[in-house]
Amino acid sequence: MSGLETRSKSTYIDGAWCDGESGETYTSWSPSTEQAVGTAQLSSPEQVDAAVASARAAFEGDAWRSYGPKDRARVVNRLADLLEKNTEPLARLIGDEVGTPIGAARGMQVGGPVEALRWYAEMAERGPRGGYSHALPLYDKPVLSTSLLRYEPAGVLAALPAYNYPINLLAWKLGGALASGCTTVVLPSPQGMQTTLRVFELIDELDLPPGVVNLVVGGPDVGKRLTGHPDVNLVSFTGSDAVGGQVMSQSALGSLSKAVLELGGKSPNIILPAADLDATVGPSILRFARNAGQGCAAWSRVLVPQDRLDEFCEKADAFIRTIAVGDPQEDATVVGPVISAEHRAKVEGMVADAVSAGATVAAGGGRPDLPTGHYLNPAILTGVDVDAPIAQTELFAPVAIALPYTDVDEAVRIANATSYGLAANVFGPLDEAMPVAERLRSGTVTINGGAGMRPDAPWGGPGRSGVGRELGEDGFAEFFEVKHIQWPLAGVTRPPGT
């Protein structure tokens, strides 16, 4: 079945496709061609209940519980195989629905999830924190006893990935659930729905026990029903901090379930005085313009020594003019469109407000001359106060601000002057950059651009960047509850205190 078709069977419950029963539909529109990608019938609140019930029955039933660590690892690896086999059509579909340029989509949007799933398969065999059970040292109060810690799957997961990396974020959540033994109900962002539907067609090929993985589609009413459901044990959400706060509230009021939230950032990129300025310009721009700036770790605040700010902006403007902005299906394209006309208008409004308040578009800016699509040229603004709205708001667009600093202490203060703390970067000699990295309030700090996204490293950050972690040992541990089992070595004893 193609993602370009209008489909009624857009809900996957208990191992079978079924019609969405809300009576409403959602059409995904290409941000580049402005043509329909596909239309799906949305799920009803009652279908959310049915999906959760199916996940609960699967979690408590014998079929899924009979899957041991090696079995679960085989399932996760098989899903990675299916994604890898379908790399090109999936990358093309993401280019059409999300707007990621095909050159990046193959690696970031499909290759990245494959690597994450392979890592989760390894973790399924190893277990969290190095094993599914750990013995504690002997304890002698009031009598000699021993204890065992057991890590057991948390239960039913509500997984809500965002649109900007629809397969990545699904793989991070679903990979951990399958590897740990949880069961799942997935609710994708409507703007990444067609891609998710195609992935679920591949998931259907896994022949899992019914109810292990379920899919509902819809808007806020479906999300509220799912995240507040009393039979959900764990919620994993990626999106804005505003919606994340609502999700946490709903999960607390529903079953007081644990919530793992990845909510974005306003990441600083510090160019130290000793850094090679020429070498930093290109990477700085490409990191905030990647995926049209629709990434939670975009380096959207560039901190430059005050006496080199003009030089940086001149070089940045020249570099931006070399960037191919346009059709995401073309291999030469570097920057594609933002997700919608409404979002572009919102971003342009914030830029206009900043300019009205005294800011200057010092590099790039404006729209490319293209007949269709919601495109923006990469842009850098100067003359922006550290606490200005555009300096504190995650834009999800290829727009950054350049902030001058007089010394490294001031650079650190400016970098930390945000309610977010997801990611940061420092350019400069390692012996100078490392002490700066250690002072930044951020879940991930790269030096000189870092390297690839490691699945064995945790992802997340403090403040409004969220709660908990994804990936890495810390992220995998989120899918478990820990049980303490203790017994005296001398047999039955009187309870302490009696």
Cβ(335)–Cβ(289) under 8 Å?
Answer: yes
Distance from C-alpha of 405 to C-alpha of 436, rounded to nearest angstrom: 14
Backbone phi and psi for residue 440, each to the nearest 5 degrees, phi listed first? -85, 135
User: pLDDT band at residue 252, thresholds of 50, 70 and 90?
Assistant: confident
| pLDDT tens string 401-410 | 999 999 999 9
Q: What does the pLDDT look like over 141-197, one tens digit per residue?
A: 999 999 999 999 999 999 999 999 999 999 999 999 999 999 999 999 999 999 999
Residue 5 confidence (pLDDT): 55
Please name the residues in contact with 35: beta carbons below 8 A apart, sequence gap of 6 or more. Answer: 29
Sign of the C-alpha dihedral computed for residues 214, 218, 219 and 220 taken in this order: negative
Helix axes 220-227, 45-60, angle to 10 degrees: 30
User: What does the DSSP 8-state code read for residue 206?
Assistant: T
Q: Is 6 helix (H, G, I), strand (E, B) or coil?
A: coil
Burial tier of 147 (Cβ tally within 10 Å: 0-12, 13-18, 19+): middle
The answer to whether the beta carbons of residues 372 and 247 sit under 8 Å apart is: no
* Range of lowest pLDDT (5-14, 227-236, 362-371): 5-14
| Among candidate residues 231, 339, 342, 352, the one with its CA nearest the CA of residue 291 | 339
pLDDT band at 423 (very low <50, low <70, confident <90, very high): very high
**Residue 39 forms beta bridges with which residues?**
27
Active-site hit among 24, 34, 97, 262: 262
**Averaged confidence pLDDT in the chain:** 96
What per-residue confidence (pLDDT) applies to 2?
Answer: 41
Rounded Cα–Cα distance for residues 198 and 195 (Å): 5
For the record, the structure tokens of 224 come out as: 């509220």
Question: Exposed (0-12), middle (13-18) or buried (19+): which is 178, by Cβ within 10 Å?
Answer: buried
| Residues β-bridged to residue 383 | none
Q: What is the pLDDT of residue 254?
A: 83
Residue 88: active-site member: no
Considering just the CA atoms, what is the radius of gyration of the chain in Å? 24
AA letter at 59: F
Is residue 131 predicted with pLDDT exceeding 50?
Answer: yes
Is the pLDDT at 3 greater than 50? The verdict is: no
CA 230 to chain centre: 25
- The per-residue pLDDT for 311 is 98
- Cis-peptide into 142, omega within 30 deg: yes
User: Nearest CA to 192 among 395, 30, 5, 317?
Assistant: 30
- Check: CB of residue 147 under 8 Å from CB of residue 139: yes
Residues with Cβ within 8 Å of residue 310, at least 6 apart in sequence: none
Whole-number Å distance between alpha carbons of 358 and 352: 10
Strands in 360-364's sheet, in edge-to-edge order, are 360-364, 379-382, 399-405, 301-305, 268-271, 423-427, 444-447
Q: What's the confidence (pLDDT) of residue 425?
A: 98
Helices (H) and strands (E) in the chain, counts: 17, 20
Residue 6: the pLDDT is 59
Q: Which of 193, 198, 202, 159 is closest to 177 using CA atoms?
A: 159
Please tell me whether residue 480 adopts helix, strand or coil conformation. strand
The per-residue pLDDT for 495 is 81
Q: Detail the DSSP E strand segments found in 89-247.
A: 133-139, 145-153, 156-160, 183-186, 213-215, 234-238
**Do 110 and 90 meet the contact criterion of CB atoms below 8 Å apart?**
yes
- For residue 243, the model assigns a pLDDT of 92
CA 417, CA 419: separation in Å to the nearest integer?
Answer: 7
How far, CA to CA in Å, does 450 sit from each of 283, 407, 421? 11, 23, 17
The pTM for the full model equals 0.96
Give the distance, in angstroms, between the CA of residue 465 and the centroid of all CA atoms in the same chain: 11
Q: CB 163: neighbour CB atoms within 10 A?
A: 25
1 falls in which pLDDT band (50, 70, 90)? Answer: very low
